[in-house]
Amino acid sequence: MVEQYFDLFEDVYVPGRWHLDDPIDLRGQRFEVGLFRRGEPSHIKGPLHIPLDVPGKALDFSRAGTSALVVHARVAAVLAELAPGDVELIPANVEGTREPYFLLNITHVVKCIDDETSDEVRYVTPAHGLPEQIGEYRSVIGMRIDPSKVGDAQMFRTWGWVAIIVSEAIKEALEGMGVTGMRFTEVTGPSTISAEDRARSQKLRELLETAAAAREEAWRALGSLDTEVIMPIAVGGAWPGQRQLWSVIRRETERTLLVTHGLSDSFIESLKPSVGFGLELALEVDAAVKDISKGWPPKLLDRVADEVAEHEHVREGVKAGLFSMEVSGKGMPKSLVTEEGRVAVLLGVESRSLPGHFSTPYGQVRLVTVKALLPAELEYVLEHGAQGHAELARRFAESGEEHLSRAKRRAVV
């Protein structure tokens, strides 16, 4: 009988769950982001400290930061028994609890993804601008592995793709204990997708990747593009390709530019080439932010992007010229938040350092700047309307910070 294996995911849908930050060593230093994705022993000595990013319900299995895995002692005991040669368990103290935890480092990598039975696989090519990853997987949909290539590994990472695979014995042991924070998807056996669905999926992927490659080329012309994109926990919504992504661009001026990466996808329903909503949004801040995903700029851009995606009158207003709007101020700098708890933005301010449009194989896409307004500037707009928009844009240009968003500055009115 062929051994069954399962893809292990973090269950991000646990209500009220905690979120953990990057581990810190005894010297108070954070670890390198990719340290625990290499599939090799780290030789790190504990105990480590795991700060809480968002307090909440403690889980038996969690991610800490972007790469580290943290497990309760009872999960660690199962893995030490069933997969002793596949894991490294480093003692860790999690902020806010006295329960024993360990940082889990999976030390085994297996090249076993079955390209033929997986629903769809695509590879990194020279065109993607990632020379160190050429030949690795760029996407794997409906992954299946070849059990004959696994050997005696009970827990391992897949070569060329970020996935954690466990044996049926480990899955059953963990589920039998009622562990929290985990979910499993079988990755053995034939594909469940039909030939028709496979063809549709392939066409959709080609549309999305063609658009994404064109955008990435445009982003690289603006600065150094981060290799990883930002995505929310829940994806979909009203975005054309039902994938909400943001890219980060490091600028020569020590500024950080955050751009939406999907509003110009083709519409998933029609499967016809298009530029979606015909625009992408750009928000720039005046600092070389190391981890911009945890600051206020992506929250603001996320909220603005959702309004653009969900409301046609907003899109029409943006396309017509300067357009102002308000979104929730939760988690925003106090200097930007109005008495009503909102934050205003001005969209479409012309920039001397950013293009107004860029080209894709499916047509021109407008790059729309997002400028965070101070409450006094919002009041000015509400009083003067379209003329207020134009006057604010003129004064922003005079200040030399036409599209730049800053929480600490003086109002221009």
Mean pLDDT, residues 22-38:
76
Q: Round to whole Å and give the CA distance between 306 and 279.
A: 13
Say if residue 366's pLDDT is above 60.
yes
Q: Round to whole Å and give the CA distance between 282 and 37.
A: 31
Contact partners, residue 112, CB within 8 Å, separation at least 6 = 145, 146, 147, 149, 150, 158, 159
Say if residue 30's pLDDT is above 90.
no
> What per-residue confidence (pLDDT) applies to 326?
97
Confidence of residue 151 (pLDDT cuts 50, 70, 90): very high
Bigger pLDDT: 294 vs 81: 81
> What per-residue confidence (pLDDT) applies to 233?
44
Give the tens place of pLDDT for each residue, 310-347: 999 999 999 889 999 999 999 999 999 999 999 999 99
pTM of the model: 0.63
Alpha helices, DSSP H, located in 83-194: 168-177
> What per-residue confidence (pLDDT) applies to 103?
94
Bigger pLDDT: 90 vs 193: 90
Which stretches does DSSP call E strand in 107-146?
109-110, 120-123, 137-141
Closest CA to 373 of 351, 357, 388: 388
Confidence of residue 234 (pLDDT cuts 50, 70, 90): very low
> What per-residue confidence (pLDDT) applies to 29?
78
In the chain, where are the structural domains located?
A: 1-193, 211-399
> What per-residue confidence (pLDDT) applies to 363?
97
> What per-residue confidence (pLDDT) applies to 132?
78
Minimum mean pLDDT among 12-26, 221-235, 282-296: which range? 221-235
Q: Is 192 exposed, middle or buried (0-12, 13-18, 19+ CB in 10 A)?
A: exposed
161, 109 Cβ separation under 8 angstroms? no
Beta-strand relationship, 164-167 and 155-158: antiparallel
Give the tens place of pLDDT for each residue, 162-182: 899 999 999 999 999 999 999
Closest CA to 346 of 410, 389, 391: 389
Q: Round to whole Å and give the CA distance between 229 and 232.
A: 10
Closest CA to 282 of 370, 220, 222: 370
Contact partners, residue 355, CB within 8 Å, separation at least 6 = 218, 367
Give the tens place of pLDDT for each residue, 369-409: 999 999 999 999 999 999 999 999 999 999 999 999 999 99
Contact partners, residue 222, CB within 8 Å, separation at least 6 = 249, 251, 257, 354
> What per-residue confidence (pLDDT) applies to 75?
97
247, 225 Cβ separation under 8 angstroms? yes
Give the tens place of pLDDT for each residue, 270-319: 889 999 999 999 999 987 666 676 789 989 999 999 999 999 999 999 98
Say if residue 235's pLDDT is above 70.
no
> What per-residue confidence (pLDDT) applies to 36?
74
> What per-residue confidence (pLDDT) applies to 127?
62
E strand or H helix at 259, and its extent?
strand 256-260
